[in-house]
Amino acid sequence: MSDDIKPRVRVQTKAKKGELVEVKTLVTHPMESGQRKDADGKLVPRLIVSAFDATFNGKPVMNAKLEPAISANPYLSFFVRVDESGTLKLTWTDDNKQSWTSETKIEVG
Amino acid sequence: MNHRNPSTLGRRAALARAGGYGLAAIAGVLAARDAAATPDSARDWLAALAKGTPAEGKVSIKAPEIAENGNAVPVTVGVESEMTDKSYVKALHIAADGNPNPGVASYSFTPLAGKAEIQLRVRLAQTQKLVAVAEMNDGSVFIASREVKVTIGGCGG
């Protein structure tokens, strides 16, 4: 299952100095809430992406702790102020401590 | 713009899932009613994260008035702030007071975010209120809430 979990990130790759850049992200993940029952009436154990973290050139921008109330295939968007060229690194971590990362270069021109 | 549109595939997958788990979703909602969060538990959850007496203002929640599908309700939460080293939003907590558990998400920011505005998609089991609490770096706390009417609840799927 974890093979088809893939983060997708949409962000402009060129920016003016100091520009506020919107980052849109989506990771394909079922986000089992722990509330759902399978065909036999047994609860499906909780397995969600519980943490999201964003850094730019290694400096923290934002992070989020997610609860089961986040939809399947969690879509998250936020802003980052780009003062210099650099790499936006995003990390998603699930309940099993499995994590996925994505790196995007943003150039200031 | 060298990435593919993230929403297309996600929406398709979400729709497929919503259809497939439709029955399970209904069962989930019925079960959820028994063990739903209450406005009190949502307030407690928020109070445990953000110390201080919250004041109205600065925080805005954008969400549809009526959500046909509670499996993925698009929500935007913004906090007015300069986001400079002197004055910025330190944390933003979002709760839903009619879900099995009140918590939705808890964000923290640095001034590097530039703008304290986030979007996410939320599962809502029934018609209920979303509550957002923002903590500023000077210790002040702001709150906003917004009711969303849900036609088909989304906690089972």
Q: For B41-82, how does the pLDDT look when each residue is reduced to its tens digit (9 = 90+)?
A: 998 999 999 988 899 999 999 999 999 899 999 999 999 999
- Find residues 52-91 of chain B whose CB sits inside 8 Å of chain A: 71-74, 83
Provide mean pLDDT across the span A30-36. 89
Helix (H, G, I), strand (E, B) or coil at A105: strand
pLDDT given at position B20: 46
- Token pair of B78, please? 């913004």
Hey, are the CB atoms on B17 and A61 less than 8 Å from each other?
no
pLDDT given at position B36: 67
Cα–Cα distance between A92 and A52 in angstroms, integer? 5
User: Locate tokens 């036999």: which residue?
Assistant: A40
**From its phi and psi, is residue A57 left (phi > 0), alpha (psi between -120 and 50) or beta?**
left
Provide mean pLDDT across the span A23-28. 96
**Residue B4 C-alpha, separation from nearest chain A C-alpha, in angstroms:** 7
- Give the DSSP per-residue string, A15-73: E-TTEEEEEEEEE----B-S--B-TTSPBPPPB-EEEEEEEETTEEEEEEEE-TTBPSS
pLDDT given at position B32: 42
Q: For an interface test with B, which of A29, A62, A82, A105 has the most B Cβ atoms less than 10 Å from its Cβ?
A: A62
Where along chain B do its domains lie? 6-152
pLDDT given at position B155: 60
pLDDT given at position B107: 97
All structural domains of chain A, each given as residue ranges with its CATH number in brackets, are 2-108 (2.60.40.10)
What residues of chain B lie within 8 A of the CB of A36, using their CB? 21, 24-25, 28, 155-157
| A87–chain B Cβ distance below 8 A for any pair | no
pLDDT tens profile A45-72: 999 999 999 999 999 999 999 999 999 9
Query: Which residues of chain B, if any, have pLDDT below 50?
Result: 1-2, 4-9, 14-34, 157
pLDDT given at position B89: 97
pLDDT given at position A35: 85
| A43–chain B Cβ distance below 8 A for any pair | no
Burial class (CB in 10 A: 0-12, 13-18, 19+), B65: exposed
| Candidate CATH numbers 2.40.260.10, 3.40.50.620, 3.20.20.70, 2.60.40.2470; the one for domain B6-152 | 2.60.40.2470
pLDDT given at position A36: 86
| B30–chain A Cβ distance below 8 A for any pair | no
pLDDT tens profile A90-101: 999 999 999 999
Hey, are the CB atoms on B118 and A66 less than 8 Å from each other?
no
Cα–Cα distance between A11 and A55 in angstroms, integer? 14
HSE, side-chain direction, 13 A CA sphere, residue B9: 17
**Residue A2 C-alpha, separation from nearest chain B C-alpha, in angstroms:** 15
Hey, are the CB atoms on B103 and A36 less than 8 Å from each other?
no
pLDDT given at position B10: 52
Tell me the ipTM for this assembly. Answer: 0.91
| B105–chain A Cβ distance below 8 A for any pair | yes
